[in-house]
Structures are given as C-alpha cells and as structure tokens.
C-alpha cells in the first residue's frame, strides 16, 4: 500500500487527506504543528473506515518520524488568502514554513515525490526543490489541474454541455498571469474557438483568473479547498498509480519552452518518480510570448523570497 503524507491539517490538507483515504489507494499520514489537530481529524476519518468499507489507514501526528518512507508528501502548510489579498502577498510567511517543511519531510522520505500546494505555489515549488535537495522531477506544484477545472466549469456552463465533455488547459502562473491558449481547449474535440466569440472566451479566461478570489470573497475567512483537494487527489493518484497521465503541473523548467530555472505550469506526464516528461507542444510566437511573460512574473517573485 502506498503511503501519502499530507502536511498541514487545515482546510485543504484535511479535505485532501479525507479524499485520499476514500480512494482506498494509500495509507495517509496527516501532520501539523498544532498539537491535537491532525490527531483529532485523522481519528475522526479513521472512524469512518468501517462505514465506508475501507482497510487503508489514516493517522495524525506532529512528528516527522511518522511520515518516514512516504511515496508522496503533499505540502499544504501555511497561510491562505483573506479577502483583498493576492497569492503573492503570502510569499514571506509561507517561504519560511515551506522551506522548513520541505527539508524535514525530505530527510525522512528521501524517495518521495513532493506535491507542493502552498501559495504562491510556483515560488514555493522552486523553494521546495532547493530546500529538499530533490531533483526537479520529484517536486511538482499544483496549479493547472485546479485552474483548468475552473475553466472547464465555466466553458460547460457557457455552452451548456456536461463538464466531462470539456478538455481545458491552463498554463503558466497560478495567479494573475495564468495563461490560456484558447485553441487548445476543446469540447468533444472541437476547439472552443469554433464555438464561442473571441470576447466571450476572453471573459471566461478573466473569470477563471478571478475564480479563487471569488471563493475567498464569499467565504471571507478562508480560501477554496474542495476543488483544490480534488486536484491533489488527481495528481497524487497519477503518481501512485504510475499512470503517465498528462496533467498541467507547475514544474521547474530547464530549457523547455525556452525557459530556465523557473517553476511554471506546463503539460506534464506524471508517474511514480514524479515528472516522467514535460510535454512539448508547438506554440505560436504570440503564445510563447504570453508564457514567457507569465514565467517572468514568477521569476521576479522568486528573486524576492527571503532565502531566494
């Protein structure tokens, strides 16, 4: 049975732990710095195993030794946005947390794949690579799976088709500079550019960029966690099952798409060792410029992180 550790037992982490447990694919360890929080939530989840017919286990802890030998470590620890905040404003506080967590988790699970969720996720993924000492193949950020799901939801509503008929792909930064190439988004194989006017598509893209803030503004005291935790399970499952599924993911680029030493969302083939390969799609000059602009904004944030 695979072992998945989730660090941070807050909204995203605990919901991801529950969803992971319910896949039946892995044992789950939930870790937080707050005493009792991960233990209480994990015990509550363990109490559901009989009802749900699950034999995999869930434990809560404050001790990294209990996470030793994990196949996947999901990092959700850190502050979330409040209304009016951008993800970039979390950089200072979350860099200290993610840096420490990546070091400690990597020390006891040297073969793990790190799945970074804490925002700003592109920057935190870059930092986790440095702090863990892991290769860039084994540290992956969650961005495009969530953003694409939000875009797919909006496309399905606009065209009035089941969301499962939509194939959506969001690239670039998980933030204001996220990138959508309209021609690569399809409904049953038909590009949305053949079905929707340019200004309608631009509106859907703008709504996708604002989706996270829309949830924050409604919830007021927390940010989104149902869709983010579903995205965690989709990515973690691809890794555990060595599926080779192509999912948009934030990975460190080393020449791919002409970009170097920057973590940015691109299509990635995922497997048990993390990144199997970065998928190369021919981009037009304009598309390439958009991606480079997005990567540039991430690079600026990386240059500003306290230990960056």
The residue (of 142 and 187) whose beta carbon lies closer to ligand NAD is 142
Interacting residue with ligand NAD among 72, 101, 155, 216 (CB under 6 A): 101
**Backbone φ and ψ of 159, nearest 5°:** -95, -10
- Applying CB under 6 A, does 271 fall inside the site for ligand NAD? no
Q: Which of 64, 126, 225, 257 binds ligand NAD (CB under 6 A)?
A: 225
Strand-pairing partners, residue 268, are 247, 278
Tokens representing 76 are 């959700």
Cβ(137)–Cβ(263) under 8 Å? no
Q: Does 97 bind ligand NAD (CB under 6 A)?
A: yes
Residues in the chain: 308
Q: Which residue has the tokens 């989706």?
A: 211
DSSP one-letter code for 260:
E
Per the listing, tokens 């990975």 go with: 251
Please state the closest distance from residue 10 (CB atom) to ligand NAD, in A.
Answer: 2
Catalytic-role residue among 150, 174, 223, 302 = 174
Q: What is the helix (H) or strand (E) element at residue 298, kind and residue range?
A: helix 285-304
Q: How far apart are CA 16 and CA 237, in angstroms?
A: 12
Number of Cα atoms under 13 Å in the Cβ half of residue 170: 26
Q: Would you say 74 or 187 has its CB closer to ligand NAD? A: 74
What is d(CA 308, CA 97) in angstroms, rounded to the nearest whole number? 14
Nearer to ligand NAD, 12 or 114 (CB): 12
* Member of 2, 5, 6, 13 binding ligand NAD (CB under 6 A): 13
Shortest CB 123 distance to ligand NAD, Å:
11
How many Cα atoms occupy the beta-carbon half-sphere of 240 within 13 Å? Answer: 23
Residues 119-158, one symbol each (x = binds ligand NAD by CB under 6 A, - = not), give x-x--------------------xx--x------------
Of 42-50, 66-74, 224-232, 280-288, the segment contacting ligand NAD by CB under 6 A is 224-232
Binding residues vs ligand NAD (CB under 6 A): 7-13, 32-34, 76-81, 90, 94, 97, 100-101, 117-119, 121, 142-143, 146, 174, 222-225, 228
The residues carrying an active-site annotation are 174
């Amino acid at each position: 049975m695979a072992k998945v550790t989730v660090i941070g037992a807050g909204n995203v982490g605990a919901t991801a732990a529950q969803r992971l447990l319910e896949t039946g694919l892995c044992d789950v360890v939930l870790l937080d710095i707050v005493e009792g929080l991960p233990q209480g939530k994990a015990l509550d989840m363990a109490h559901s195993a009989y009802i749900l017919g699950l034999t995999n286990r869930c434990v809560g802890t404050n001790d990294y030794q209990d996470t030793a030998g994990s196949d996947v470590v999901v990092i959700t620890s850190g502050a979330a946005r409040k209304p009016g905040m951008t993800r970039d404003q979390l950089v200072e506080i979350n860099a200290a947390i993610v840096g420490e967590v990546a070091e400690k988790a990597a020390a006891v699970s040297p073969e793990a794949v790190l799945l970074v969720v804490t925002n700003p996720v592109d920057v935190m993924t870059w930092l986790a690579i440095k702090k863990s000492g892991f290769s860039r193949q084994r540290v992956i950020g969650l961005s495009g799976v969530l953003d694409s799901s939000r875009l797919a939801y909006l496309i399905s509503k606009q065209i009035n088709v089941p969301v499962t008929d939509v194939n959506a792909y969001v690239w670039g930064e998980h933030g204001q500079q996220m990138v959508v190439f309209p021609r690569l988004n399809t409904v049953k194989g038909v590009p949305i550019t053949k079905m929707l006017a340019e200004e309608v598509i631009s509106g859907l893209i703008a709504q996708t960029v604002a989706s996270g803030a829309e949830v924050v503004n409604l919830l007021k005291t927390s940010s989104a966690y149902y869709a983010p935790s579903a995205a965690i399970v989709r990515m973690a499952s691809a890794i555990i099952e060595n599926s080779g599924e192509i999912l948009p993911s934030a990975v460190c680029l080393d020449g791919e798409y002409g970009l170097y030493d920057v973590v940015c969302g691109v299509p990635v083939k995922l497997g048990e060792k993390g990144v199997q390969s970065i998928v190369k799609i021919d981009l037009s000059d304009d598309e390439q410029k958009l991606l480079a602009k997005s990567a540039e904004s991430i690079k600026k944030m990386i240059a500003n992180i306290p230990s960056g």
